[in-house]
C-alpha cells in the first residue's frame, strides 16, 4: 500500500512548522504563489505568537526518487508546548510513524523527551532528525548522542536545515522507506477513528478521520460507537490542507466527513465510526480522556452575552476537547462558566479565541487547581471520602476542614550547567522536593523534582526562563496528591466578601499574597464618594488591609465669606451624606481587578 501516515514531534520552537512548509513545497501541494511561512498555522493567534496550537493534517502526493512510485503522505504537524501535549497524543493515534525533530543548537529538551517516550509507548516508528545545522553554534554530533541516550537505540539521525530546505527531500525518502504502511484492509467492515473536528456554520460538524478498515462514500449511513447516533454521509474528501472533495476515502487514508451533524454533543474525540447495522466487536484504541489541571471562571462582561458565550465555548470544545466546562454563578459576576485547562497558556489561548473569534468580552477569575478536602459536615467526608473542589468559593468553612490535599507534579527540567544554581533556588522557593540530578552531557543537566501544581501554574515558566536566560526547558506530569497546610483567602470590599477574588494558598505565603493583592486592588478600584476598606481574611481573621480614600467635593466653593456657622453646617451635611453612603453604598469593581490576579507574583 503506497500510503504513509506520520507526524512531526518536537520541543517548542525546534522547527516543526518550517519542516512541514518544506515538505509542502517539495510535493507541490500548494501553488508557490499561495505559499507563506508556517502555512499550516492558519490561526491568527498561532502566527502572532509563533507557536502551533492545533495539530494540522495535510495530504501530499510524492513520487519517490528511489523507485519512481507515487506515494500518498498524510502528515500531521503537532504543537510543542507542554500545555498542548493532548494534541500530540491525538495525532499519534492516527499515525504509524513520527519524525522526532531536534534543534542542533539546543539539543534534547524536556518536551523532546516526553514526546519520544509517548511515541515509543504507542509502538510508532521513530525517525530522528537534527534540524538547524546551518547555525554557527550548532553541534549535531553531541545532539545525536543525546538522541541515542533518549531512544536507548543508536539510530542514525538525518541532518537538515528546514529553513533552506537542505536534507528535507532525504527525510521524505526515509519516511517512505522506514515507516510501515497502514495494516488495514478495504474489504473489511468499516472502522474509522475520529481524531479532530470543527464546526462550520453552513455544513455543521466537519469530522477529521483516519480510516482503518473499509471505506466511506457519500450516501453511506454511519454510526458512532460511543453514542450510537446514526447519520447519512453527505460529503467526503481529503485535507490538502483545505477540504478537497472526493468520491471516497479508503482504508489507511486520512480525510474528512460531512454528515449534516448539527448537535455538537454527538461527537467525541477518539470515537470509532462504523457502518449502520454492522456492529463491531470493540472500538479502535483511541486515546485517553485528559484531566484538566488548571481551572478558572469565565464570565461575560455584559450579562446579555451569556447565551453567546455558551455557544462559543461548545464550538471551541469541538475543536479542542481537552478543556471541560460547566455553568456556575457568582454574587459579584453573575452567570458564567468554570473551565478546566491543561495549563495557563491553554487558558490564555482559549480566552483570546473567545474574545477574537466570537467577539465576546470576558472576565476571567484567578486560576486554581483541584484540591481534595475532608470536611466534618460533608456527607461524603463522613464516610472518609475526600471531596474535590475546583472553585475557592466552594471551599468548606475553615472550622469544618479536617484535611486538605493538593496536587503534585513530577517536573523535568533540562538546562546548561552554569544556570543550575538559580534554577535550584527557584525550585526551593516553590516548595519543591528533589528527586535526582543526571548529567546528559558534559554541559547539560537533567533535574527531576516533585512540585505542587499550584506553585507552577502562574509564573513558574516565566521565572525559569528568566533565571536560565531562556535555555532551560520544562515538562511535567501529574504525580498524585499530598496533604498540605493550605488556607483560603477571602477578599472583603466594604465588608462584603467578593467570591470571585477568593483564592487558595499555602499558609507560609498567605500574608505576602494578601498584602500584595490588597495593594493592587487599592490601585485598580477607582475612588467612590465614600471610604472603602480592602481587606484580606484568613480563617475569620483579617491579616491585611488597605483603605481607598473617599472622593471629596469642595462644598465650600460657593461660600464667599459669611459666618463660620454656615460653612460648618455645609460640612456637617456632607459628613452625614458620606456616613449614609458608607452604610448603603456598593462598590463597583473594574474588569482589571479580576485580570490582575493572573499577573500577581507568587514569590516571597
Contact 525, 492 (CB under 8 A): no
pLDDT at site 454? 87
The sign of the CA dihedral 186, 192, 196, 202 is: positive
Q: Which of 156-160, 183-187, 349-353 has the lowest mean pLDDT?
A: 183-187
pLDDT digits (tens, 9 = 90+) for 423-453: 999 999 899 999 989 887 777 888 999 999 8
CATH among 3.40.50.970, 3.30.70.870, 3.90.1200.10, 3.20.20.70 for 294-362? 3.30.70.870
- Could you please state the CATH topology (level 3) that the domain comprising 371-483 is classified under: Alpha-Beta Plaits (3.30.70)
Instruction: State mean pLDDT over 402-418.
Output: 88
CATH 2.40.30.10 in the chain, residue ranges: 191-275
Instruction: State mean pLDDT over 244-272.
Output: 83
Q: Which of 199, 175, 185, 65 is nearest to 125 (CA)?
A: 175
pLDDT digits (tens, 9 = 90+) for 184-197: 777 788 888 888 78
What percent of the chain lies above the pLDDT cut of 90? 5
* Comparison of pLDDT for 425 and 111, the residue scoring more: 425
pLDDT at site 284? 75
pLDDT at site 344? 77
- Alpha carbon distance 98, 124 (integer Å): 7
pLDDT at site 346? 81
pLDDT at site 209? 87
Q: What angle do CA 570, 571, 572 make, to 5 degrees?
A: 90
- Alpha carbon distance 604, 512 (integer Å): 7
pLDDT at site 574? 67
Question: Which among 20-24, 193-197, 322-326, 482-486 has the top mean pLDDT?
Answer: 482-486
CATH 3.30.70.240 in the chain, residue ranges: 371-483
pLDDT at site 594? 59
Query: Angle of helix 140-151 relative to helix 110-121, nearest 10 degrees?
Result: 40
- Alpha carbon distance 267, 257 (integer Å): 12
Contact 400, 430 (CB under 8 A): no
pLDDT at site 602? 40
CATH 3.30.70.870 in the chain, residue ranges: 294-362
pLDDT at site 451? 92
As given in the structure block, the three cell numbers for residue 585 are 453604598
* Comparison of pLDDT for 89 and 446, the residue scoring more: 446
Statement: residue 261 has pLDDT above 80: yes
CATH among 2.40.30.10, 3.50.50.60, 3.30.1120.10, 2.40.10.10 for 191-275? 2.40.30.10
Which pLDDT band holds residue 83 (cuts at 50, 70, 90)? low
Average pLDDT of the chain, as a whole number: 80
pLDDT at site 591? 60
- Alpha carbon distance 430, 428 (integer Å): 5
pLDDT at site 579? 62
CATH superfamily of 3-178: P-loop containing nucleotide triphosphate hydrolases (3.40.50.300)
Q: Which of 136, 131, 124, 89 is nearest to 109 (CA)?
A: 131
Name every residue whose Cβ is closer than 8 Å to that of residue 279 and which is 6 or more positions away in sequence.
none
Instruction: State mean pLDDT over 410-425.
Output: 89
Q: For residue 461, how many other CB atoms are within 10 A of its CB?
A: 18
Q: Which of 80-84, 151-155, 393-397, 501-505 has the lowest mean pLDDT?
A: 80-84
Statement: residue 158 has pLDDT above 80: yes
CATH 3.40.50.300 in the chain, residue ranges: 3-178
Q: With H, G, I as helix, E, B as strand and everything else as coil, classify residue 439.
A: strand
Statement: residue 176 has pLDDT above 70: yes
211, 214, 217, 219: CA torsion to nearest 10: -120
pLDDT digits (tens, 9 = 90+) for 61-78: 888 888 888 888 888 777
Calculate the CA 502 to chain-centre distance: 23
CA distances from 28 to 21, 22, 57, 62, 242 (A): 10, 10, 16, 9, 14
pLDDT digits (tens, 9 = 90+) for 559-596: 766 677 777 777 777 666 656 554 544 666 666 555 55
Tell me, letter by letter, the H, E, C secondary structure of 230-276. EEECCEEEEECCCEEEECEEECCCEEEEECCCCCHHHCCCCCEEEEC
Q: Which of 183, 185, 191, 188 is nearest to 275 (CA)?
A: 191
What ranges in 2-124 are assigned the alpha helix state H?
16-26, 44-49, 85-93, 110-121
pLDDT at site 186? 76
Strand (E) or helix (H) holding 353: helix 344-357
CATH architecture of the domain formed by 487-599:
2-Layer Sandwich (3.30)
Q: For residue 600, how many other CB atoms are within 10 A of its CB?
A: 15
Q: Which of 178, 245, 247, 238 is nearest to 208 (CA)?
A: 238
Q: For residue 555, how many other CB atoms are within 10 A of its CB?
A: 14
Instruction: State mean pLDDT over 17-40.
Output: 77
Largest CA distance in the chain: 109
pLDDT at site 584? 47
Amino acid at each position: 500500500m503506497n500510503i504513509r501516515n506520520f507526524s512531526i514531534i518536537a520541543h517548542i520552537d525546534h522547527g516543526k512548522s518550517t519542516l512541514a512548509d518544506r515538505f509542502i513545497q517539495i510535493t507541490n501541494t500548494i501553488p508557490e504563489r499561495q505559499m507563506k511561512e508556517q502555512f499550516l498555522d492558519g490561526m491568527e493567534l498561532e502566527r502572532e505568537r509563533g507557536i502551533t496550537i492545533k495539530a494540522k493534517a495535510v495530504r501530499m502526493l510524492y513520487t519517490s526518487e528511489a523507485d519512481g512510485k507515487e506515494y500518498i503522505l498524510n502528515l500531521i504537524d503537532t504543537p510543542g508546548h507542554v500545555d498542548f501535549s493532548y494534541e500530540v497524543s491525538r495525532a499519534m493515534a492516527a499515525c504509524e510513524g513520527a519524525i522526532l525533530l531536534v534543534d542542533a543548537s539546543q539539543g534534547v529538551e524536556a518536551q523532546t523527551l516526553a514526546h519520544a517516550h509517548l511515541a515509543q509507548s504507542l509502538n510508532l516508528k521513530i525517525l530522528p532528525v537534527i534540524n538547524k545545522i546551518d547555525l554557527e553554534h550548532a553541534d549535531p554530533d553531541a545532539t545525536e548522542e543525546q538522541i541515542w541516550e533518549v531512544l536507548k537505540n543508536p539510530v542514525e539521525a538525518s541532518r537538515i536545515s528546514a529553513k533552506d530546505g537542505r536534507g528535507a527531500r532525504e527525510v521524505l525518502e526515509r519516511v517512505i522507506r522506514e515507516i510501515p504502511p497502514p495494516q488495514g484492509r478495504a474489504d473489511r467492515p468499516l472502522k474509522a477513528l475520529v481524531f479532530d473536528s470543527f464546526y462550520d456554520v453552513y455544513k455543521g460538524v466537519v469530522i477529521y478521520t483516519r480510516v482503518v478498515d473499509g471505506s466511506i462514500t457519500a450516501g453511506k449511513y454511519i454510526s458512532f460507537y460511543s453514542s450510537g447516533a446514526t447519520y447519512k454521509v453527505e460529503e467526503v474528501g481529503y485535507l490538502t490542507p483545505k477540504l478537497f472533495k472526493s468520491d471516497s476515502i479508503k482504508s489507511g487514508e486520512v480525510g474528512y466527513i460531512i454528515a449534516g451533524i448539527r448537535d455538537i454533543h454527538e461527537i467525541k474525540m477518539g470515537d470509532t465510526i462504523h457502518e449502520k447495522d454492522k456492529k463491531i466487536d470493540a472500538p479502535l484504541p483511541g486515546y485517553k480522556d485528559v484531566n484538566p489541571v488548571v481551572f478558572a471562571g469565565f464570565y461575560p462582561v455584559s450579562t446579555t452575552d451569556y447565551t453567546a458565550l455558551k455557544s462559543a465555548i461548545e464550538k471551541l470544545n469541538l475543536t479542542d476537547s481537552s478543556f471541560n466546562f460547566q455553568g456556575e454563578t457568582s454574587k459579584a459576576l453573575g452567570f458564567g462558566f468554570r473551565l478546566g485547562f491543561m495549563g495557563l497558556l491553554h487558558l490564555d489561548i482559549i480566552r483570546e479565541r473567545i474574545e477574537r473569534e466570537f467577539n465576546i468580552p470576558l472576565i476571567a477569575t484567578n486560576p486554581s487547581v483541584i484540591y481534595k478536602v475532608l470536611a466534618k459536615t460533608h456527607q461524603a467526608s463522613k464516610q472518609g471520602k475526600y471531596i474535590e473542589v475546583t472553585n475557592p468559593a466552594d471551599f468548606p468553612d475553615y472550622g469544618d476542614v479536617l484535611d486538605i490535599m493538593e496536587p503534585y507534579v513530577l517536573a523535568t527540567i533540562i538546562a546548561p550547567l552554569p544556570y543550575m544554581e538559580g534554577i535550584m533556588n527557584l525550585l526551593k522557593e516553590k516548595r519543591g522536593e528533589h528527586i535526582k540530578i543526571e548529567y546528559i552531557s558534559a554541559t547539560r543537566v537533567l533535574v527531576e523534582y516533585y512540585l505542587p501544581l499550584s506553585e507552577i501554574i502562574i509564573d513558574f515558566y516565566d521565572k525559569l526562563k528568566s533565571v536560565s536566560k531562556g535555555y532551560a526547558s520544562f515538562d511535567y506530569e501529574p504525580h498524585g496528591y499530598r496533604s498540605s497546610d493550605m488556607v483560603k483567602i477571602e477578599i472583603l470590599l466594604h465588608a462584603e466578601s467578593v467570591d470571585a477574588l477568593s483564592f487558595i494558598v499555602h499558609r507560609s505565603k498567605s500574608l505576602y499574597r494578601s498584602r500584595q493583592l490588597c495593594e493592587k486592588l487599592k490601585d485598580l478600584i477607582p475612588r467612590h464618594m465614600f471610604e472603602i476598606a480592602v481587606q484580606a481574611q484568613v480563617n475569620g481573621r483579617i491579616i491585611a488591609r488597605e483603605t481607598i480614600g473617599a472622593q471629596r467635593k469642595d462644598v465650600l466653593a460657593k461660600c464667599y465669606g459669611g459666618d463660620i456657622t454656615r460653612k460648618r453646617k455645609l460640612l456637617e451635611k456632607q459628613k452625614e451624606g458620606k456616613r449614609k453612603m458608607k452604610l448603603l453604598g456598593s462598590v463597583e469593581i473594574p474588569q482589571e481587578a479580576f485580570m490582575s490576579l493572573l499577573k500577581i507574583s507568587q514569590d516571597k
